[in-house]
A and B are shown apart, each in its own frame.
Chain A
Amino acid sequence: MSPAAHTRTEEIDHAFLAAAQRGDDAAFLAIMRHYDRLLRIVAFHVLRDRQLMDDVLQDVTLRAYRSLRGFRGDAALGTWLSRITYRAACDAVRRNDRCWPVDPEDLERSAAPDGDPAEVLAARTELEEAFAALSAEQRVAVLLVDREGYDYATTARILDIPAGTLASRLSAARSKLRRRLADHPDDEVPR
């Protein structure tokens, strides 16, 4: 993954929002496509399941579609959508402890005759394991701030927590990551 692939999502032109609020579905879908990567970051790193991510983002889209007229612009549109997504993903985690959908592509990979479960295990990198050990809130926070370059205020709004709380949770997340990755000298992680 090249660094260029991870670029913070810019705010979309206000004309799209205005058109969508007037009932232009194409404009609405353009908005959702524009923010799709940001919303996938938030949803996937809470849920850690692609199928659930898709389910949640579909529901988030429907909710945004219904609510868009009421959006006043108090926050940036991307922040607003991300906050809805974060809440919906957390709700989905709470709801989905009984039936957990399985991604058919994952299933097809698992069907490979050369023992795909081992491949899946082998592909689980140290970084992924360290990252998975963080809480959902920590995962999203560290990604948005340290990888994507979002400021504390925006990230705190998405997570619906005070900026000071975000700072302390970020600090804890970074410390955990450093500790987990400390046994790997090639890792370029500051001490």
Chain B
Amino acid sequence: MRPSRRHTRSDDRHRDEILGRRLEELDEPQHGPGYWDALEHRLEAARAAAPSSETPEHVSTARKPVRLGGRRAWRLVAAAAAAAAAVAVVALFGLPGVVEKTGPPAVEAEPVVAKALRALASARTLTADYVSREFDRTGSTAVSVERFHIVMRGDGSSRATTILPPDDGDARETAYHFIDTAYDAGTGIHRMYQETRSAESDGRSGMAVSSASKTVGCAIGEPDREQGTTLKFAAFAAALRTARDGRARAADFEGRPAWVVSCRLTATSASPLASDTQPTPPYDRLSVTIDKATGMPVRVRLWSDDILRVERRLENVVVNADLPAHAFRFSPPLGVSFDRRDDGFRLTTLDELRARSGGALLPGALPAGYRLAVAATAARSPSLDRRLQGSSITALRYARGFDALTITTRDVRGLRRPPELDPFLYEWVGAPSRPDEVLLTSGAFAGATARVLVAPLTVPHLWVTRNGTLLTVGGAAGVTELVAIAESMEVER
């Protein structure tokens, strides 16, 4: 069988050929990779899903044509699409006996996101190179770039070391800011070494300034302890949760099979970047790239008006490797000594907390899989920032792999603290302009209005004040889970 050469007659009298030639410059893209394989796959699924009487081999030969825009046709297509999606999910997770295929061009993101969330919840260790880039409003200039080699452990320990560009031997090009920061959750000690060298216009290398600090009594989690980098897996998880209603598509990332889940965003906020004097337009599009083999989210990107504004990515990812004992501590270079400070947090136990006068405010419900990792108290906040001010601070950190939740309470009586003041405010990158407001109906905070904020690249969090006590819940959880935790808070003795 060969295509015929029969032509459709063109009405040349009414054709604008000059314009037509100009329109030759326009083109239509080819299909994405795997399009035809996926199509065959979907046809197979459609044939398998349809009742035998509706397959082409058995369709009635009645003369009445199927009405293409009618409901019956749409039901058939929907059934075929559902079957195809099921096939895609099977392909994605590689069930025994099933040959993995590329899958349809786009599937529902939910199963992909679920796999990524499970990967985060089950990871023990991770090493990777982390790159954070933020662009100006033209999208062409990076106004902020961070590159770190990172090492993380599920208990909250972390190490981040600046990756410096290769030294080309030109002294004028040697300006840099190097930072090495390590937090050992086992001891609660945070170490930091930083070195800054400026470039001089006369061609000589500038002076290097270095310093080191060792902080004991660190806060055990958000909002009191800021991490050394912008990398926060809870924020990655928040991005995943945001994108779960979007679409997923097969892709390659650094030469490895990956999935990209993406969706449109609504009502995101102005979030000034470091070099911008004007507020950033709202982020309106989000994508998360997920490594197919490990399920780890490896890249989060945000756009405004289709211009890429923020990218956070992990490269050279290794999951669950054994780490050396000294992974989260180091000594400064010769000639540099640690400045020592104490942030005032002391590790404690739940029994010690319950034994205090007045008992302890503890959660009665947590999302599945979370276990208490560490508890700590501090007489007052080490921060001068009014959003964190307070006394008699109690902090509880729960962990589930790299997922972590930190619950804090503090006495804010007499501080004239506005209820809308977000203790996590510095986290606002792409956050909604307004947090959700939820009236709590049970627990020690019943009757108070909690504010909940879940947004891409922001640690999901809740805060509420009642009777002079500020409660914060921050970490890898959704709105419903955060509210459930807040409503489960009760005094235990």
Secondary structure class of chain A's binding surface, majority of residues: helix
Q: Do the beta carbons of B8 and A151 come within 8 Å of each other?
A: yes
Q: Mind listing 5 A-B residue pairs with CB under 8 Å? A: A53-B29, A62-B81, A146-B17, A147-B24, A190-B18
Of A21, A27, A61, A104, most buried by chain B (CB within 10 Å of CB) is A104
With CB as the reference atom, state the residue of chain A lying closest to B9: A151
Closest CB-CB distance, B182 to chain A, in whole Å? 29
Please, how many angstroms separate the alpha-carbon atoms of A190 and B15 in the complex?
12
- Let me know if B56 is at the binding interface, CB within 8 A: yes
- Let me know if A179 is at the binding interface, CB within 8 A: no
Q: Which of A58, A62, A63, A66 contacts B105 (CB 8 A)?
A: A58
Q: Do the beta carbons of B77 and A63 come within 8 Å of each other?
A: yes
Please, how many angstroms separate the alpha-carbon atoms of A34 and B470 in the complex?
67
- Let me know if B424 is at the binding interface, CB within 8 A: no
Given contacts A87-B68, A107-B301, A110-B308, contact A10 B5 (CB under 8 A): yes
Q: Do the beta carbons of A13 and B4 come within 8 Å of each other?
A: yes
Q: Do the beta carbons of B68 and A67 come within 8 Å of each other?
A: yes
Q: Do the beta carbons of A101 and B14 come within 8 Å of each other?
A: no
Closest CB-CB distance, B37 to chain A, in whole Å? 11
With CB as the reference atom, state the residue of chain A lying closest to B74: A63
Of B6, B26, B30, B80, most buried by chain A (CB within 10 Å of CB) is B26
Residues of A within 8 A of B66 (CB): 66-67, 69-70
Q: Do the beta carbons of A117 and B11 come within 8 Å of each other?
A: no
Please, how many angstroms separate the alpha-carbon atoms of A40 and B27 in the complex?
10
Given contacts A11-B4, A54-B105, A99-B245, contact A69 B56 (CB under 8 A): yes
Given contacts A58-B38, A107-B287, contact A101 B106 (CB under 8 A): yes
With CB as the reference atom, state the residue of chain B lying closest to A30: B1
Residues of A within 8 A of B301 (CB): 107, 110
User: Interface residue count for B (Cβ, 8 Å)?
Assistant: 89
Binary interface encoding of chain A residues 26-56 relative to chain B, with 1 for a CB under 8 A from any of its CBs, else 0 = 0111101110110011001100001101110
Q: Do the beta carbons of B311 and A55 come within 8 Å of each other?
A: no
Of B19, B24, B57, B81, most buried by chain A (CB within 10 Å of CB) is B19
Give residues of chain B (25-59) contacting chain A, Cβ–Cβ below 8 Å. 25-32, 35-36, 38-40, 42-43, 46, 50, 54-57, 59
Q: Which of A11, A63, A111 contacts B68 (CB 8 A)?
A: A63
Given contacts A128-B26, A151-B8, contact A62 B20 (CB under 8 A): no
Of A66, A103, A116, A142, most buried by chain B (CB within 10 Å of CB) is A66
Q: Do the beta carbons of B16 and A117 come within 8 Å of each other?
A: no
Residues of B within 8 A of A76 (CB): 8
Of A12, A70, A131, A177, most buried by chain B (CB within 10 Å of CB) is A70
Closest CB-CB distance, A49 to chain B, in whole Å? 9
Q: Do the beta carbons of A188 and B18 come within 8 Å of each other?
A: yes
Residues of B within 8 A of A66 (CB): 46, 50, 54, 56, 66, 73, 76-77, 80
Residues of B within 8 A of A54 (CB): 31-32, 35, 105-106
- Let me know if A3 is at the binding interface, CB within 8 A: yes
Closest CB-CB distance, B66 to chain A, in whole Å? 4
A residues near B (Cβ < 8 Å) are 1-3, 5-6, 8, 10-16, 19-23, 25, 27-30, 32-34, 36-37, 40-41, 44-45, 50-51, 53-55, 57-59, 61-63, 65-72, 76, 84, 87, 97-105, 107-108, 110-111, 115-118, 121, 125, 127-128, 131, 142-143, 145-154, 167, 170, 174, 177-178, 181, 187-190
Q: Do the beta carbons of B56 and A68 come within 8 Å of each other?
A: yes
Please, how many angstroms separate the alpha-carbon atoms of A61 and B249 in the complex?
19
Residues of B within 8 A of A167 (CB): 14
Of A41, A62, A71, most buried by chain B (CB within 10 Å of CB) is A62
Q: Which of A11, A50, A148, A170 contacts B6 (CB 8 A)?
A: A11
Q: Do the beta carbons of B24 and A100 come within 8 Å of each other?
A: no
Given contacts A45-B28, A128-B26, contact A67 B8 (CB under 8 A): no
Q: Do the beta carbons of A5 and B5 come within 8 Å of each other?
A: no
Closest CB-CB distance, A99 to chain B, in whole Å? 4
Please, how many angstroms separate the alpha-carbon atoms of A126 and B199 in the complex?
43
Closest CB-CB distance, A188 to chain B, in whole Å? 6
Q: Do the beta carbons of A105 and B26 come within 8 Å of each other?
A: no
With CB as the reference atom, state the residue of chain B lying closest to A104: B251
Q: Given known contacts A13-B3, A102-B285, what 12 new A-B pairs fall within 8 Å (CB)?
A: A6-B24, A10-B4, A25-B43, A66-B76, A67-B65, A70-B64, A104-B252, A115-B142, A145-B11, A174-B16, A188-B21, A189-B18
Please, how many angstroms separate the alpha-carbon atoms of A100 and B264 in the complex?
6
Please, how many angstroms separate the alpha-carbon atoms of A36 and B140 in the complex?
35
- Let me know if B320 is at the binding interface, CB within 8 A: no
Closest CB-CB distance, A21 to chain B, in whole Å? 7
Q: Do the beta carbons of A118 and B25 come within 8 Å of each other?
A: no
With CB as the reference atom, state the residue of chain A lying closest to B247: A101
Q: Do the beta carbons of A146 and B24 come within 8 Å of each other?
A: no
Q: Do the beta carbons of B24 and A62 come within 8 Å of each other?
A: no
Closest CB-CB distance, B281 to chain A, in whole Å? 14
Residues of B within 8 A of A44 (CB): 28-29
Q: Do the beta carbons of B106 and A55 come within 8 Å of each other?
A: yes
Q: Do the beta carbons of A59 and B25 come within 8 Å of each other?
A: no
